Chain A
Amino acid sequence: MNSNTEIKLEKNLDTKLDLKLEFEKLLNSDNLKLPMLPEVSFKVINLINNPNSSLNDISAIIQQDQAIATHILRIANSAAFAPPTEIVSINQAISRLGFKLLSEIIISISLQLGIFNSKIFKNEMVYLWRFSLLTGLWAKRVSFHKKYNVEATFIGGLLHEIGKPILLNSLSKILNNIKYNEDEMNSLLNEYHLILSKKVMAEWNLPKLVSSITCNYNNLDECVEYKKEATIVYLAHQLAHYSLELHKSNDEKNHNSTNSTNSTNNANPMETIITLPQWAGLNYYRDEVEDLIAENDTVIQTLNSMVV
């Protein structure tokens, strides 16, 4: 399985590029070839779905991939998992992290190294990756407090915007050395990623629950099956935005304080999150949402430990 397969695209030779047209051409192209789910992710998702799978199976996957093995060791030794002694072997790491967490980490790493990887859109990919992983981690927390399934919502959160990195990878060939408007690019990614996500979900043959979440999290009114899980990912998406914005504004604050300049942003992002009407669908009360948001630092710490 080749994770580097990309959508074939005819290069537009005009220097003044109509981005919207390129997106539409790309999505309607007969040559559109979807990337494969990274082989390692594919194997691990199948292992999770197989009640007969064992730790040995997952160990075998790790041993076959040196890059993943290295990252596993780093993550197992990170502050988030606070090992009592340094972890030096894969078997130690496996014991430390456990089957489910290990599965999540492997899927995360393989996606990050495979699909969320681009030489041209390096910064964008880093941001998208952090955002997706953060959404997965928040989805776990939102699920936990209401006793919903934490495993499925994590993967759903991780993959909920999978169309974006795939689009970026596909566009990278034509956008090389061509100037484009970043805001326009982001706006178009937001507009078109879901179409591609749906195609990818169908192609990858993921569990129905996961594909349903990915396809419906942004269109809850139309969602029939697994609506609660899709709502969880929608809210996790908003929480991920909040976390990253908070992080950014803290950085800016630090920067501004050294320059003796005050920020004048009057918006209250926490209030925006708390008042989202979708909380009602999960019967989350305002004080429960406030308690959830208070977990931000823990979630960010876990995120930092899992980013390669």
Chain B
Amino acid sequence: MEIISELETEFKSEVVFDYEFDYVIIGSGPGGQNSAIQAANAGKTVAIIDKEINVGGHCVYYGTIPSKTLREAALAINKLKKFCNLFDFKMREDLEVQTLLSRLDDVLSAHNELIRKQLHKNNIEIFHGRASFIDRNHIQIYKMDGSKIVLRAKFIVIASGSSPRVPEDIYVDHEHILDSDSILNLIYIPQSLLILGSGVIACEYASTFALLGTKVTILEKYDRPLSFMDKELTDIYIEELESYGGEFRGNSVYKSVVWDGVSEVKIEIESNDEHKIRETLSAQKVLFALGRVANLDKLKLQNINIEITDRNLIKVDDNYKTNIDNIYAVGDVIGFPALASTSMEQGRLAVSHSLGLHIAKKFKDLPIGIYAIPELASIGLTEEQANSNYQKIYIGRAFFDEVARAQISGINAGLLKIITDEEMNILGVHIIGEDASNLIHIGEMAILNNNKATIFIENIMNFPTMAEAYRIATLDLLSNFKR
């Protein structure tokens, strides 16, 4: 890397800088990585800045990977329980969370190494520090030791991610009242856990802890969890949660959350209806999972007058460009769907646009995968959305107890649902059950290729596989079609 000073005259600003790049990417999470690699592949000089020691994104290290590792442990234990007559299996009462996460350090370390290698291979410079804007072309990096350096860039992509929202009315002490960052630092599996919120993080942890034997209760203001998913799926999610001891309490608004100073956290709730009935619940631990906030506070965005939405997210256009020509924003900082997979694609598209590349197709249907137990996945319109957009829709369902592979594997709960229009064009696919997050991509490919639903019966699928659910659902769809 070379210190550049003679190029300063190219910019109107007189800011003294240390290094210059074509692109500076703030954040090394999935959105940042893809932005950086896309720009580097186009032959541009690229720097990526991350405030964390490891590259890959805070969410990945404190959320995505640890929660999935714990989930795998819970599933493994559940399988052992099913064979308890063979193994004389009994779970230890003092089971430590860290014991279940014993593989985590290795997984995280491998992930960090992999991403570093990828970035180095593409000649992307990595800077460890906190980024803030001096102006639209200059970023200051505050390093750990308090020293500062300045980078100059033609284009800047903000991919700084998000953090758990810190509520004003609840003291999250990370001991009794936890957030999604601190929940996995628990020493022991709690006996009871109240979860405030019913978004992706809430539902994933709810089912994992419930399967590990914790008495889990989800409290949600509205009548169902994961409101952006197809209702039929969320109904099955609730049934499954209840089948291993969990509970979903909709229409409940928390009024106060207080550690009683003795042994429990007390939550006063009020019904979200005209009766406003109040009730006090208690649990050993509480997980506050009512949303995340974009990591914008240290960026000094006021120095560039970037436009912010009323939800404190960065406002972008269809190309992920902000109101400032050379600055783009992707991932959690722009809001929904805030998934790793979608952030990656947003990063690629944002940089492609800045490069003036023709983008063949902007994705309109985002696959969504939720790693609850069972998994939920979705692409396209929900039944409710399809009904309001189309005069006539058709639905085909395959319940997993009809799928041979599911029978063999002992998977009873699950549903694959295909929604089409009158021409059999696929409007949406929704799955709950084992491997849903993988299965959804078959539906996604069919939608992307404008296939009609009949493609699933006109082509061969291995037997027995879970993919066979597509064939069964399409046959069901056809029978409904004929009727």
Contacts and interface: CB of A to CB of B under 8 A. Distances in A.
A98 interface: yes
Contacts of B53: 280-281, 283
B144 A94 contact: no
Interface residues of B, number: 30
B262 A286 contact: no
B168 interface: no
A284 B145 CA distance: 9
Interface stretch (B79-87, B183-191, B222-230, B413-421): B183-191
A209 interface: yes
B325 to A, nearest CB: 31
Interface string A144-155: 100111111000
B178 to A, nearest CB: 8
Contact of B94 (A50, A96, A285): A50
B174 A51 contact: no
A150 to B, nearest CB: 5
A31 B94 CA distance: 35
Nearest to A150: B175
Given A51-B190, A95-B261, A285-B130, A147 B146 contact: no
Interface string B243-263: 000000000000000011111
A150 B174 contact: yes
A94 B190 contact: no
B52 interface: yes
Contacts of A275: 145
B21 interface: no
A25 interface: no
Most chain-A CB neighbours within 10 Å: which of B175, B191, B261?
B261
Contacts of B341: none
Nearest to A152: B187
Interface of B is mostly: loop
15 contacts: A49-B187, A51-B94, A55-B262, A95-B261, A95-B262, A96-B261, A98-B259, A98-B263, A99-B262, A99-B263, A147-B185, A283-B53, A285-B146, A287-B142, A287-B146
Interface of B: 51-53, 93-94, 98, 130, 142, 144-146, 173-175, 179, 181-182, 185-191, 259-263, 284
A205 interface: no
A258 to B, nearest CB: 37
Interface residues of A, number: 32
A51 B191 CA distance: 7
A113 interface: no
A285 B128 CA distance: 11
A234 interface: no
Contacts of A52: 93, 191
A285 B142 contact: yes
Nearest to A284: B144
The 6 closest A-B pairs by CB, nearest first: A286-B146, A147-B182, A98-B261, A149-B185, A147-B181, A99-B263
Given A50-B94, A285-B144, 18 more contacts: A50-B93, A51-B189, A52-B191, A55-B263, A98-B260, A98-B262, A147-B174, A147-B179, A147-B181, A148-B185, A149-B186, A151-B175, A152-B187, A207-B187, A209-B98, A209-B187, A285-B51, A285-B142
Nearest to B102: A225
A217 interface: no
B331 to A, nearest CB: 20
A100 interface: yes
A97 interface: yes
A23 interface: no
Interface of A: 49-52, 54-55, 94-100, 144, 147-152, 207, 209, 274-275, 279-281, 283-287
A279 B145 CA distance: 9
B92 to A, nearest CB: 11
Nearest to A58: B263
Nearest to A287: B146
A244 to B, nearest CB: 25
Contacts of A50: 93-94
Nearest to A98: B261
A97 B190 CA distance: 21
B140 to A, nearest CB: 13
Contacts of B263: 54-55, 98-99
Contacts of B185: 147-149
B52 A283 contact: yes
Contacts of B145: 275, 286
Contact of A97 (B52, B182, B188, B261): B261
A51 B144 contact: no
Contacts of A51: 93-94, 188-191, 284
Contact of A151 (B94, B187, B190, B191): B187
A83 B179 CA distance: 29
A134 to B, nearest CB: 20
A286 B146 CA distance: 5
Contacts of A97: 261
Nearest to A147: B182
Contacts of A283: 51-53, 144
B125 to A, nearest CB: 19
B53 to A, nearest CB: 5
A207 B95 CA distance: 12
B94 to A, nearest CB: 6
A245 to B, nearest CB: 22
A227 B182 CA distance: 17
A150 B173 CA distance: 9
A94 B262 contact: yes
Contacts of B189: 51
A302 to B, nearest CB: 15
Nearest to B190: A51
Contacts of A96: 261
A224 to B, nearest CB: 9
B250 to A, nearest CB: 29
